[in-house]
Chains A and B, each alone.
Chain A
Amino acid sequence: DSGVTQTPKHLITATGQRVTLRCSPRSGDLSVYWYQQSLDQGLQFLIQYYNGEERAKGNILERFSAQQFPDLHSELNLSSLELGDSALYFCASSVAGTSWNEQFFGPGTRLTVL
């Protein structure tokens, strides 16, 4: 158990809908990261927050947005869902937001868009 929790574990929804994925980092970690793992791709970095502020952005679609709240939990919002958004979404956390910190991953949320 990494100490990172993600809810829900599974999510099934329809095209055009909007969903919210939630992540609670390990106790003491200030930085949260979101990654997407599609069937035919490795883990792709989406976005990073550090202590409530956006720190780095990857190839995140405009339909996707995220935020980190004062209690440090984070939410990833996916809207106007398409079939291609079906994937595993992982949240990770680390103590700081630098490149030399190991990131600890949650169990993931499996999103299925029908």
Chain B
Amino acid sequence: DQQVKQNSPSLSVQEGRISILNCDYTNSMFDYFLWYKKYPAEGPTFLISISSIKDKNEDGRFTVFLNKSAKHLSLHIVPSQPGDSAVYFCAASVPGGTSYGKLTFGQGTILTVHP
């Protein structure tokens, strides 16, 4: 049961343009969402997060949008740079209970930014 889905396995973008990575979820109990970036042979690196009480969070070139009614979030990278080329994972968590800090990850989207 894939509760967090990233339906695009890959995305190719020109340097300087916008990259939009999408993520859908099915569990309405999720209340905190995160994006991680992963380079080969390294662990995932935290990028940006958003709680369910917000619909947008911005950090420099990265903005995450949350649409709770559609159970959809997206990560915008503007402008895209070649160094942004990596695998991007969307993750979500439920508040407390027996799941505590457990993160449920999507399958990842490979972003390639061409110079």
Q: Which residues of A contact B (CB under 8 A)?
A: 2, 4, 31, 33, 35, 41-45, 48, 50, 55-58, 90, 92, 94, 96-108
Partner among A42, A99, A108 whose Cβ is within 8 Å of the Cβ of B100:
A99
Interface string of B9-42 (1 = CB under 8 A from A): 0000000000000000000000110101000011
Closest 6 CB pairs of A and B: A105-B43, A99-B93, A43-B105, A56-B100, A42-B107, A102-B46
Please, which residue of chain A has its CB at the minimum distance from the CB of B99?
A: A56
Q: How many residues of B contact A (CB 8 A)?
A: 29
Q: For the complex formed, measure the closest distance between the CB of A72 and the CB atoms of chain B, giving whole angstroms.
A: 15
Are B101's CB and A43's CB within 8 A? no
A39 to B38, CA, bound (A): 15
Are B32's CB and A100's CB within 8 A? yes
Are A48's CB and B105's CB within 8 A? no
Are A42's CB and B106's CB within 8 A? yes
Please, which residue of chain B has its CB at the minimum distance from the CB of A46?
A: B102
Q: Which residues of B contact A (CB under 8 A)?
A: 31-32, 34, 36, 41-46, 49, 51, 89, 91, 93-96, 98-108
Please, which residue of chain B has its CB at the minimum distance from the CB of A44?
A: B105
9 contacts between A and B (CB under 8 A): A42-B108, A43-B44, A43-B103, A45-B103, A45-B104, A57-B98, A90-B43, A92-B43, A98-B95
Q: For the complex formed, measure the closest distance between the CB of B15 and the CB atoms of chain A, giving whole angstroms.
A: 27
Residues of B within 8 A of A58 (CB): 102
Residues of A within 8 A of B96 (CB): 98-99
Residues of B within 8 A of A97 (CB): 100-101
Are A42's CB and B43's CB within 8 A? no
**Known: A48-B100, A99-B100. Is A107-B41 also a contact (CB below 8 A)?**
yes
Residues of A within 8 A of B104 (CB): 45
7 additional contacts, CB 8 Å, given A41-B107, A98-B100? A2-B43, A42-B105, A43-B91, A90-B43, A98-B95, A98-B96, A105-B43
Q: For the complex formed, measure the closest distance between the CB of B100 and the CB atoms of chain A, giving whole angstroms.
A: 4
- Specify which of B31, B43, B51, B95 lies most central, judged by the most chain A CB atoms within 10 Å of its CB: B43
Residues of B within 8 A of A50 (CB): 100-101
